[in-house]
A and B are shown apart, each in its own frame.
Chain A
Amino acid sequence: MHRFAPFPLVVAISLCLLAGAAVGGFGFPSAKGLDVFDVVADPFAYEGPITVRGGVMRADLGKGRFELVDYREYRSCRSVDCAPKWITVFYAGDLPQKGAVVEVVGTVEENAAGAGGFVLRAKGVRIK
């Protein structure tokens, strides 16, 4: 009598999941966090450090700032240039390139230099 062998089942399902994932597409980088539209609606209601996901619309190397557009909108229209709203991020580290999908950890600060009268002062930027 053969012993029960779960191994082939695991292999078969894993293979299928991989195939499905490949065709279904991991094409667009996955990112987690609050969305730009959510933050823009009521920025000062967020207290302490928050994580915001989005696409980089413009990066201003000299000033250590970049603009972040809504992740979902970017994912659906695949362009960072048509966004109606965005967040200005101040970041002292290496700036991400235009079009990059990022997760920004930072705090909201009142600042007239930013879109909507606030900026997100970033402690960390993860490029996805």
Chain B
Amino acid sequence: MTYWRLIWRNLTRRRSRFVFTLSAIAVGIASVVTLLSLGIGLEAEIRRQAEGLGAELLVTPKGWCAYEQISVLTGESLPEALAAAVVDRIRRIDGLTAVPYLTQRAVIRNQPVPLVGVLAGPMKELRGWGLARGEYRLDGRHVVVGHAVAEQFDLHVGAPLRVRGSEFTVAGVLAPVGNRDDLAVYMDLSVAQRVYRTGGKVSFVAVRVDDVRRIDEYIAKIQSAANVAVVSDKQLLRSVLAIVGSVGNALQLIAAVAVLAACFGITNTMMTAIYERRREIGVLDALGAKKSTIFFVFVGESAVYGLLGGVLGVAAGFAFSYVAAPYIGRDEFTAFLGSEQSVKVFDMGITIEALVFAVLVAVLSGLYPALRAAKLSPVEAIGYE
């Protein structure tokens, strides 16, 4: 005999009540998990992509809104807007490395795939890329592909690739890096400009500075050299998060209400249980149970409710996130990423957080009833009929 067996037997003695209380917790935790997997999962994704940028500053055409800024992070095709002369002027400024991007779309087997026109040398240095296979060769006839793209379309070194009617060969496959770099095809910038007929223009320029402390100085220099907008990586992150954050409010409210309702559910269930089991509490007293033991048994019951409800809630939450993400996450970022990329179908961090939260909330909800049970005088409990 163990305390856990005693707790479990007590919990399951009234099956329908057990199931209802568990459902309430599961629903509460499911909404929290949905919130986390949609919201925080998304935020983590944005941060990851922003870090993947590998630059402190982003030079964009003036008048770009969050819509386009998000596209920088998602690797979406962007209007070609910065002229070659502008790029040259920025590159001539001392103390910084400017890497222009032309983000476009290629098509492999009727599937759109991001294609980025880059300067081969500076880009490799900026991103710190390694090679999984083949060679890093970007020219009029060769491209390299991200690891995920190679896997998805089974692209080997030497495989042909047709982009807007021009024939290319896959020269190499990049080593996996864990961000959107894995999801794109890379082409030499001037070749891409020719193929996509952008007239020497690029989409944006990523800038890495030598001295981060002088970042404001660099911004001023770039702005005086060209009529462009300059945002720091932190500003970019902030503005994107601001948009994404505003979407979570409705979800947060649902989650809060659901969790609160679950808490009351547990408290109510435990109070009823104590009322019904007063005699048994008295018997335990007579058998020599300490107040702390009775308290532990009842708190333990709440905790098990929390844990089981948490497990069900986590499963339901992830399932719900997966099914409902396209409808709920209707902000710009998710709209662009697409539901598949923005929702974490399973995340260990969220799972652990949600389970700890569930147990904690359940224990808190069970404290008052457990205290009442422990305070019950043995004679009062036994004398109750």
Contact = CB atoms under 8 A, between A and B. Distances in A.
A–B direct contact (CB < 8 Å): yes
A112 interface: no
A26 B327 contact: yes
A47 B171 CA distance: 25
A47 B327 CA distance: 30
Given A16-B30, A42-B163, A45-B107, A37 B22 contact: no
B367 interface: no
Contact of B15 (A1, A26, A27, A35): A1
Nearest to B323: A17
B112 A41 contact: yes
A26 B327 CA distance: 6
A19 to B, nearest CB: 7
B164 A45 contact: yes
Interface string B352-383: 00000000000000000000000000000000
A44 B23 contact: no
Contacts of B22: 9
A12 B23 contact: yes
B63 interface: no
Contacts of B196: 41
B250 A77 contact: no
Contacts of A26: 327
A25 B327 contact: yes
Nearest to A44: B165
Nearest to A7: B19
B207 to A, nearest CB: 25
Contacts of A113: none
B328 A45 contact: no
B62 interface: no
Interface stretch (A58-66, A68-76, A120-128): A68-76
B164 A8 contact: no
A72 B330 contact: no
Contact of A42 (B105, B250, B324): B105
B101 to A, nearest CB: 15
Contacts of B332: 76
B316 A13 contact: yes
A21 B324 contact: yes
B324 A44 contact: no
Interface stretch (B48-56, B251-259, B293-301, B343-351): B251-259
Interface size class of chain A, counting residues whose CB lies under 8 Å from the partner chain:
35 or more
B27 interface: yes
B9 to A, nearest CB: 12
Interface string B154-170: 00000000111100000
B233 interface: no
B15 to A, nearest CB: 4
B164 A44 contact: yes
B106 interface: yes
Contacts of B23: 8-9, 12-13
B326 interface: yes
Contacts of B76: 37
A30 B326 contact: yes
Interface string B223-266: 00000000000000000000000000011011000100000000
B331 A20 contact: no
B176 interface: no
A39 B107 CA distance: 8
30 contacts: A5-B15, A5-B19, A8-B16, A9-B19, A9-B26, A12-B24, A12-B26, A13-B316, A17-B324, A19-B254, A20-B31, A20-B34, A21-B324, A23-B250, A24-B251, A24-B328, A34-B112, A41-B105, A41-B196, A42-B104, A42-B105, A42-B106, A45-B163, A45-B164, A47-B110, A50-B110, A73-B67, A76-B332, A76-B335, A76-B336
Interface of B: 14-16, 19-20, 22-24, 26-27, 30-31, 34, 67, 76-77, 79, 104-107, 110, 112, 115, 162-165, 196, 250-251, 253-254, 258, 312, 316, 320, 324, 326-328, 330-332, 335-336
Interface of A: 1-6, 8-9, 12-13, 16-17, 19-21, 23-28, 30, 34-35, 37-42, 44-48, 50, 72-73, 75-77, 84
Given A27-B330, A45-B107, 8 more contacts: A12-B20, A12-B24, A23-B253, A38-B77, A41-B107, A50-B110, A72-B335, A76-B335
Closest A-B pairs by Cβ, 8 of them: A41-B105, A38-B112, A45-B107, A24-B328, A2-B15, A12-B23, A76-B332, A72-B335
